[in-house]
Amino acid sequence: MKVSQRTVRLELTEPLRISRSTMAARDAIWLAVEHQGMRGYGEAVTSTYYGLDAARLGRLLHEAGRELARCATPESALDALSAGELPSPGTPPAVTAAVESALLDLVGKRAGVPVHRLLGAPEAPHAATARTIGITSYRAAAEQARRLTRRGFSVLKIKAGAPDPEDDLDRVLAVRNAAPHARLLLDPNGAWSPALADSLLPRYAGLGVEAVEQPLAPGDPEALAALAERSPLPVIADEDAVGFEDARRLAGRVHGINVKLAKCGGVTAALRIADLLAGSGTALMLGCLTASTLGLAPAVHLADRARWTDLDGHLLLAHDPWTGIGGTDGTVRAGREPGLGVRPVDGAAPPGEEPAGRETAGRQAPVPGRDGEAAQ
């Protein structure tokens, strides 16, 4: 097998402010695995929170590519990954998820079936996705809510954690008034203390918020579980639930766990967590990082397994260099074509293909280490 990669810049339509940072763009590395003339693709994106810059991601994906090159077929490589034999111990989950995505895409193409059928789902999953509204003025939030609901969005996720908690409440009230029939989720990204959460959650319940995601600073899952027990709103763990062991500690003690493939390690890891949560009283939420359609696609093939679906990362981009999962009308849909069912849009060149001139969306960024062929 031959493995190649390319680094591109993903720019957001507008900066997204959350409690701990503001993001206007991020780098993505596209991975291609080629065997007998067919290619499968995956994507990993940079994350300051998880300590992954483009240079480190590029090195790690190059190392993973060398391991893949030792496998005889994509199918055997996927089996080894599912068994935990690939990639090397200590590889960040985001890298494992990107490698698995490329293998699933390629194995599905070789078998002539979409990824969801490889995973046991006969029908293409689809789900109403939440659409994120960042920390902004209440007037801007209200206008976003009106625009989004007119386009078909029925679930809105509002970021919280402003220095003045009353600003957050004003924003949620404005969204509620602008979109009275929308389901509302709240995400402070760990900005609150237990005392502040106790004072705020009843007020958000009165505004019809459906659930709150990671209200407390991560690092104390016992405090989060205790808050969930007394909260008037369902509490969903995110930053406190990175992988399987975190989910095991919180299963049955919080109302939901936000599973992101880049956080837990990919589709196989997400399915293990979903099986763990089944019957525990803790529901599955599928989340994402801001990424292209290529990065979101594997999770969309799991969308029928989640109570809450928050797969809007590609919708925040000024230009998405891939297409195939929809979402602009509020619903994401798994592709029915073999593999992930996604394809690059005009002007976007996946690894192993020559760019058709300068890319303006999904622009090529300086590539760490080796661009192009990484392993033979």
Tens digit of pLDDT for each residue in 320-336?
A: 999 999 999 999 999 99
Check residues 324 and 362 and name the one with the higher pLDDT. Answer: 324
Q: What is the pLDDT of residue 371?
A: 32
Q: What is the pLDDT of residue 346?
A: 81
pLDDT per position as a tens digit, 77-106: 999 999 999 999 999 999 999 999 999 999
Residue 152 in tokens: 């078909």
Whether the predicted pLDDT of 358 surpasses 80? no
Q: What is the pLDDT of residue 370?
A: 31
Whether the predicted pLDDT of 262 surpasses 50? yes
User: Among 49-58, 162-171, 217-226, 353-362, which stretch is predicted with the lowest mean pLDDT?
Assistant: 353-362
Taking residues 26-39, report their average pLDDT: 97
User: Among 212-226, 270-284, 358-372, which stretch is predicted with the lowest mean pLDDT?
Assistant: 358-372
Whether the predicted pLDDT of 368 surpasses 90? no
Q: What is the pLDDT of residue 341?
A: 98
Q: Do 97 and 41 contact (CB within 8 A), yes or no?
A: no
Taking residues 294-305, report their average pLDDT: 97
Q: What is the pLDDT of residue 355?
A: 54
d(CA 244, CA 278): 13
Q: What is the pLDDT of residue 353?
A: 76
Characterize 326-339 residue by residue with b for buried, 16 or more Cβ atoms within 10 angstroms of its Cβ, and e for exposed.
bbeebbbbbbebbb
Q: For a pLDDT cut of 90, what percent of the chain falls above it?
A: 91
Cα 115–50–244 angle (5° rounding)? 55
Q: What is the pLDDT of residue 376?
A: 28
153: buried, middle or exposed (CB in 10 Å: 19+, 13-18, 0-12)? buried
Q: What is the pLDDT of residue 354?
A: 58
Name the average pLDDT for the chain. Answer: 93
